């Protein structure tokens, strides 16, 4: 039972209420951590697929006369299909370039350069520009620290992306493994 100190009108919670408050605090902390983790995963997912999302957007924007009558849901599905198709194309090229490299064909360097530009350079520049523009100081203030921080963030993001694509290793995510295998077969011809 709750107890009030009549002398100073202060509230003293009993043991059960202290336990309930402790459990509530634990649940609240776990929920906050889960929410933060979810937001970070969504952010990393977006950064990982930002080249494909950007390319899909540019493709859909180019064919605006065909896509202007789509509802938001249909536009989302078309965009998702395009992103998936572009990712399949990247892993197709990856499979192809690995076989060409193994066979000593010099074309693999061109394919590797295209993949590097698409998979790493484009996201690094997008992340650097986004961070720099988001936190850009007022005119006349120094920007060197912000520039360094934005480049460090971009390089860290590129490391995360490299862990996903690994252009020099014989691996592919299961969702695009079929495209990767077709690329390997095509390179072997």
- How far is Cα of residue 147 from the mean position of the Cα atoms in its chain? 21
pLDDT score, position 34: 92
Report the number of distinct structural domains present in the chain: 2
pLDDT score, position 67: 77
The C-alpha R_g of the chain, in whole angstroms, comes to: 26
Q: Are residues 25 and 62 in the same domain?
A: no
Q: Are residues 76 and 167 in the same domain?
A: yes
pLDDT score, position 35: 92
Q: Are residues 43 and 93 in the same domain?
A: no
Q: Are residues 56 and 107 in the same domain?
A: yes
Q: Are residues 102 and 12 in the same domain?
A: no
pLDDT score, position 92: 92
Distance CA 4, CA 14 (A): 10
- Kindly report the pTM of this predicted structure: 0.68
Distance CA 163, CA 157 (A): 10
Stretches in the chain below the pLDDT threshold 50: 1
Distance CA 46, CA 31 (A): 22
The three-class DSSP label of residue 4 is strand
Q: Are residues 44 and 97 in the same domain?
A: no
Element (H, E) at 161: helix 144-165
Q: Are residues 128 and 44 in the same domain?
A: no
Q: Domain range holding 21?
A: 3-48
pLDDT score, position 161: 77
pLDDT score, position 3: 55
Q: Are residues 97 and 136 in the same domain?
A: yes
Q: Are residues 26 and 108 in the same domain?
A: no
Taking the CA atoms of residue 99, residue 102, residue 104 and residue 108 in that order, the dihedral angle to the nearest 10 degrees is 50
Residue 167 near residue 116 (C-beta atoms within 8 A): yes
pLDDT score, position 140: 66
Distance CA 14, CA 127 (A): 52
Q: Are residues 30 and 104 in the same domain?
A: no
Q: Are residues 64 and 119 in the same domain?
A: yes
pLDDT score, position 33: 92
Q: What are phi and psi of 12, to 5 degrees?
A: -120, 110
Number of helices and strands (H, E) in the chain? Answer: 8, 2
Q: What are phi and psi of 70, to 5 degrees?
A: -75, 140
Q: Are residues 71 and 104 in the same domain?
A: yes
């Amino acid at each position: 039972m709750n107890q009030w100190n009549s002398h100073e009108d202060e509230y003293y919670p009993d043991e059960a209420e202290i336990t309930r408050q402790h459990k509530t605090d634990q649940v609240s902390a776990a929920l906050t951590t889960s929410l933060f983790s979810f937001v970070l995963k969504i952010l990393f997912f977006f950064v990982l697929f930002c080249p494909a999302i950007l390319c899909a957007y540019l493709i859909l924007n180019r064919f605006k006369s065909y896509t202007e009558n789509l509802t938001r849901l249909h536009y989302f599905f078309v965009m998702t299909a395009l992103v998936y198709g572009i990712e399949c194309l990247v892993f197709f090229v990856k499979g192809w370039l690995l076989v060409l490299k193994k066979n000593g064909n010099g074309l693999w360097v061109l394919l590797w350069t295209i993949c590097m530009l698409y998979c790493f350079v484009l996201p690094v520049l997008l992340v650097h520009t986004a961070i720099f523009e988001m936190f850009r100081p007022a005119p006349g203030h120094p920007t060197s620290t912000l520039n360094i921080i934005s480049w460090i963030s971009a390089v860290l993001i590129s490391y995360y992306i490299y862990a996903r694509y690994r252009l020099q290793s014989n691996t592919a995510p299961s969702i695009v493994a079929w495209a990767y295998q077709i690329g390997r077969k095509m390179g072997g011809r």
